[in-house]
Amino acid sequence: MPAHLRPTAPVAADAILVGDPGRALLLAQELLEQPKMSNHARGLWGYSGCTAAGAELTIQSTGMGAPSAAAVIADLAELGVRRAVRVGTCTAAGGRARRGELLLVAEAVAAEGSAAAFSVAAGTAVGSDPVLLDRLRRELGPDARAARVTSLDAMPADAGRVPADVAAADMQTVAVLARGRALGMAIAAVLIVCEGTEGEAMDGEDLERAAKRAGKAASAALSKP
């Protein structure tokens, strides 16, 4: 029995991972024909169903921060998930990303202490699965670019804690990629730059549109065997 999730419907072998439970609902309504709530334990909403193309898909929230994401991914692996794409948000770093931009995570650099729990030393990086990353690139085309990001234990991302060669920072992509890889998953990430370097945030409707765009690309990338 998984430690945190309590599935009430079958979990698919392919999953989209989001931090925010509300975004899980948004993408379930957008991508699944007849979504069924597969988890509500601990407020970690998850939904399962079939896409319009007939592919089985689970959309699962991972909560906030690296420890929560790592625990959810371990449970999903136990439940049979074998491939996953994180659709998350991040904050621009050092003017190297624009608010509203979609970033394909080529590498996520460990910047702080908690990453050591996932066998990633500070300053080293973990990459997205190359096959899924290439599929996401093809689906999103000019709407997205590949980038290096970093994950911090807490936000905001002040300059002293962010490596100079990364475009943006979040709180869990390092954990998602490292934990997924350790558990034998093919896993990748696409992030929405929801906040600029000066703290200017995306409008809620714009953020929803970007999440749907990224979610559709993730669904398409996972639909291929």
- Domain assignment present for residue 7? The answer is no
CB 149 within 8 A of CB 173: yes
pLDDT of residue 155: 74
Identify the band that residue 115 occupies on the pLDDT scale cut at 50, 70 and 90.
confident
Residues β-bridged to residue 190: 87, 104
Q: Per residue in 141-197, pLDDT tens?
A: 999 999 999 998 877 666 567 778 899 999 999 999 999 999 999 999 999 999 887
- Domain assignment present for residue 3? The answer is no
Mean pLDDT, the chain, as a whole number? 92
How is residue 184 annotated by DSSP? T
- Domain assignment present for residue 139? The answer is yes
- Domain assignment present for residue 5? The answer is no
- Domain assignment present for residue 101? The answer is yes
Domain that holds residue 81: 14-223
CB 21 within 8 A of CB 43: yes
pLDDT of residue 157: 65
Q: In one letter, which amino acid is 155?
A: M
- Domain assignment present for residue 97? The answer is yes
pLDDT of residue 159: 56
- Domain assignment present for residue 60? The answer is yes
Is the pLDDT reported for residue 13 higher than 90?
A: yes
The mean pLDDT value for 100-117 works out to 87
Identify the band that residue 44 occupies on the pLDDT scale cut at 50, 70 and 90.
very high
Rounded Cα distance, 15 and 46, in Å: 10
pLDDT of residue 1: 65
pLDDT of residue 119: 78
The mean pLDDT value for 194-214 works out to 91
Rounded Cα distance, 38 and 7, in Å: 5
- Split into its structural domains, the chain has a count of 1
pLDDT of residue 106: 97
Lowest-confidence region among 8-17, 37-46, 84-93, 195-204: 195-204
Rounded Cα distance, 111 and 121, in Å: 8
- Domain assignment present for residue 6? The answer is no
CB 149 within 8 A of CB 168: yes
Q: In one letter, which amino acid is 118?
A: F
The DSSP secondary structure of 105-138, one letter per residue, reads EEEEEE-SGGGGGGT--TT-EEE--HHHHHHHHH
On whether the pTM is more than 0.85, the answer is yes
CATH no. for residue 35? Answer: 3.40.50.1580
Residue 95's CB is within 10 A of a number of other CB atoms, namely 10
